[in-house]
Amino acid sequence: MLSAASLPVFDEEISDPHPGEGIGQQEVYLRQLWAMLEEHAQSQNNCTLAWPANPTSMMVDMPEIIFNASLVPTKCFDVDSIKNMALSADTDYRKTFSDIMVFGREDLVRDEILEFPQICEVDSQAIKGSAAWQDQFNRQLSALPTGACLPGLTPPAWHPHAFAEWEEVN
């Protein structure tokens, strides 16, 4: 169809490996831990972490810098009250608009609301207050290759799907 309109045609189909999904719970933990490791590097070593374009290829040979997700202290939010509020709102909506609802299956809505997963995040207070975690961060920083923690630099501005330039601190 693209070629019929004289538009470029791609050789390969670009697809999302996990369509309809956001990031997983472990990735949330790892991103939060990474931010804490960066903060630790800046406050304790006065440096900013810098990684190569493909850090995972390097990390395979450096198991000492990998976080064990099962050992990460987390805190979870109580979503039961939100689920109850959603069920109540759905009931009210159905009462008010039942005459114009065409395909509103109450059982599917209820099941979807009740199956909503628990929301958790890293317990940053537990980590920041833990000597063991501070030692873990120090071991990880010492295991990094030379040049991975650069002094006198600030973290890059976040640019989605692009590499950012490092800026010198004056």
pLDDT at 124 over 80: yes
Asked whether the predicted pLDDT for residue 165 surpasses 50, the reply is no
Q: Are 144 and 128 in contact (CB under 8 A)?
A: no
| pLDDT at residue 45, rounded to an integer | 86
pLDDT of residue 166: 42
pLDDT digits (tens, 9 = 90+) for 65-111: 777 777 889 999 889 999 999 999 999 999 999 888 778 789 999 99
Mean pLDDT of all residues in 31-54: 84
